[in-house]
Structure 1
Amino acid sequence: MKRIQTLTNEINKLTLKIEEEYPELYKYLDENPITMPNAEHPDMGNKVFAEYLASLKDLLEHHIETHKTKA
């Protein structure tokens, strides 16, 4: 399993890509329920970071698929 530092770097890069290349999508990142743990002391281990990274990738892939321009 990847280390938290590696996952954090990937999350940061993907978030920056979304911010720069897909600004219309960036506004939805604050609304992503995976970013809002409902526990008082949430477990922020590798699994949580990996799941968040996967959710960002899914969000971007879905956006790209549903907003393809027809040439």
Structure 2
Amino acid sequence: MKNLQELLKEITELTFNIEKNYPELYQFLVEDPLTIPSENHPDINKKVMQDYLESLKQLLAHHLETHLTI
């Protein structure tokens, strides 16, 4: 498994790619109040960040599959 710094770098790069190349998808990355932790100090660890990275990848893959123009 990647370390936390590598995960953050990959998340940042993927988010920038979505913002730049898929602005119609970027609007869905805005934090939803339901996803913001209610704890004062939530535990942000490698597993949480890996899950978030995977969700970004899945979101982009689904977008590409459903909006691909041939």
2-structure distance, mates of 1:2, 1:61: 21
**Equivalent position of 1:29 in the other structure:** 29
**4+ residue segments displaced more than 6 Å:** none
| Distance across 2 between alignment mates of 1:31 and 1:62 | 19
Aligned to 1:55: 55
Give the TM-score of the pair, scaled to structure 1: 0.86
1:67 match: 67
What TM-score does the superposition give when structure 2 sets the normalisation length? 0.88
- Residue 35 of structure 1 and its aligned partner are, at CA, apart by 5.2
Name the structure 1 match of 2:38. Answer: 38
Report sequence identity in percent.
54
Aligned alpha-carbon RMSD (Å): 1.9
Aligned residues: 70
